[in-house]
Amino acid sequence: PEPLSPRELLALDRQHVWHPYGPMPGRAAPLLVESASGVRLRLAEPVEGQDELVDGMSSWWSAVHGYNHPVLNDAAHGQLGRMSHVMFGGLTHEPAVRLAKRLVDITPEPLEHVFLADSGSVSVEVAVKMCLQYWRSLGKPRKQRLLTWRGGYHGDTWQPMSVCDPDGGMHELWQGVLPRQIFADAPPAGFDAAPDEAYAAQLRELIGRHAEELAAVIVEPVVQGAGGMSFHSPGYLRVLREACDAHGVLLVFDEIATGFGRTGALFAAEHAGVAPDVMCLGKALTGGYLTLAATLCTAAVADGISRGALPVLAHGPTFMGNPLAAAVADASIDLLLSQDWAREVKRIEAGLWEGLAPARSHAGVREVRVLGAIGVVQLDHEVDMAAATRAAVREGVWLRPFRDLIYTMPPYITGDDDLARICAAVCAAAREG
């Protein structure tokens, strides 16, 4: 095709392309990325004097190994030469089998079966279907509702939206139309804080009171991400586990954002030493290379479903179990586990504490918090997203602030100098946003 100049591409983008959470028509002003390597995004033309940006977002928290990684490139090329896709109904292939075995091996103990989907939201849809179908199969069709925490985020398709933060969150528009779920208050903030007994009692009471109609409790363990970037004590996960067991309710952990080391444990559930009945994974599963997610469940959940009138999990869109994505995911997990990833995340955690400390004294900053490779500056006002983004770009860094939050989740390969640069950009964005 005829080459198009950056200006032409951006004009066509404005005319035709709808971006995530973007306005239509053509009011978004995205930056044009030409290529990406390591932790850097190369822009097609300079913006604010920068032609490269250090990615402080890991492409929405997924590119933990950075971009254009030779190991992941090799995995993709190798699999491309064999087959990029084949239907997964009635057929199987080595990448999916290897990946499923690998996921069962590294996730908490009783998780045994793996459904490979194509995005985090769909993996949550699958998790919900599993739970609802499980109770139907066991002759308890009233147990069809979900309980979750306020302040959560589980994706943009229909069931996940019904368990996102109902108050002023991204899906407030749909309240009243979405399935009616049960909301508990968000857990008290503070990863290191001792669990609040009064709050724990509230959780137990709510689960007990609604047990007859509850299929499952679904939460983001330890970090509530896109709903507010808040951290809570792992102790509440133990409370949920005990209450769910006591009242016959399934427990789902959505580890789409927290999985693969982001919080300093391979999976956030490990901080609490508890296992869910169903777990969702996505984002960093393929190191951010390709779209893939997974829903894992215990043998008990799968056995329950297979005892029903419809003894199959009725879910099978076209691109389930994609071999290209599965091969890259397996290579990405290999890459992660072959290094001392926990040391790298600890190094980043220390760098974030140090680098974000100056933001504490800025007027308008409410709190600075860090957990693993997650650094958050919370303002006491709604951020001016355009001004904050521009301030970060001027520092040579890509950030995507939202609501009252400026945060970073850098790739684990981010070196100390680049990390300092990201922190400086977060501070600048906090000052100017």
Binding site for ligand PLP (CB under 6 A): 119-121, 124, 153-155, 220, 225-226, 254, 256-257, 282
The annotation status of 153 as a binding-site residue, yes or no, is: yes
In the complex, the smallest distance separating the C-beta of residue 120 from ligand PLP, rounded to whole angstroms, is 2
Q: Which is nearer to ligand PLP, 59 or 121 (CB)?
A: 121
Q: Which is nearer to ligand PLP, 154 or 421 (CB)?
A: 154
Whether 13 is catalytic is no
In the complex, the smallest distance separating the C-beta of residue 276 from ligand PLP, rounded to whole angstroms, is 13
The annotation status of 60 as a binding-site residue, yes or no, is: yes
Catalytic annotation, pick one of 67, 153, 289, 412: 153
Whether 199 is catalytic is no
The annotation status of 158 as a binding-site residue, yes or no, is: no
Q: Which is nearer to ligand PLP, 121 or 389 (CB)?
A: 121
Catalytic annotation, pick one of 55, 199, 283, 404: 283
Catalytic annotation, pick one of 55, 118, 165, 254: 254
In the complex, the smallest distance separating the C-beta of residue 254 from ligand PLP, rounded to whole angstroms, is 5
In the complex, the smallest distance separating the C-beta of residue 52 from ligand PLP, rounded to whole angstroms, is 26
Q: Which is nearer to ligand PLP, 10 or 374 (CB)?
A: 374
Q: Which is nearer to ligand PLP, 54 or 226 (CB)?
A: 226
The annotation status of 119 as a binding-site residue, yes or no, is: no
The annotation status of 433 as a binding-site residue, yes or no, is: no
In the complex, the smallest distance separating the C-beta of residue 73 from ligand PLP, rounded to whole angstroms, is 22
Diameter over CA atoms, the chain? 66
Q: What is the 3-state secondary structure (H, E, C) of the chain?
A: CCCCCHHHHHHHHHHHCCCCCCCCCCCCCCCCEEEEEECEEEEEEEECCEEEEEECCHHHHCCCCCECCHHHHHHHHHHHHHCCCCCCCCCCCHHHHHHHHHHHHHCCCCEEEEEEECCHHHHHHHHHHHHHHHHHHCCCCCCCEEEEECCCCCCCCHHHHHCCCCCCCCCHHHCCCCCCCEEECCCCECCCCCCCHHHHHHHHHHHHHHCCCEEEEEECCCEECCCCCEEECCHHHHHHHHHHHHHCCEEEEECCCCCCCCCCCCCCHHHHCCCCCEEEECHHHHCCCCCCEEEEEEHHHHHHHHCCCCCCCCCCCCCCCCHHHHHHHHHHHHHHHCCCHHHHHHHHHHHHHHHHHHHHHCCCEEEEEEECCEEEEEECCCCCHHHHHHHHHHCCEECCCECCEEEECCCCCCCHHHHHHHHHHHHHHHHHC
For the beta carbon of residue 89, count every other beta carbon within 10 angstroms: 9
Q: Which is nearer to ligand PLP, 282 or 287 (CB)?
A: 282
Whether 289 is catalytic is no
The annotation status of 283 as a binding-site residue, yes or no, is: yes
Q: Answer yes or no: are the C-beta atoms of 295 and 279 closer than 8 Å.
A: yes
Task: Tell me the residue number closest to ligand PLP, measured at CB.
Answer: 120
Whether 153 is catalytic is yes
The annotation status of 120 as a binding-site residue, yes or no, is: yes
The annotation status of 318 as a binding-site residue, yes or no, is: yes
Residues flagged as binding site for substrate? 60, 153, 283, 316, 400
Q: Which residues are catalytic?
A: 21, 153, 254, 283
Residues flagged as binding site? 60, 120-121, 153, 254, 283, 316-318, 400
Residues flagged as binding site for pyridoxal 5'-phosphate? 120-121, 254, 317-318
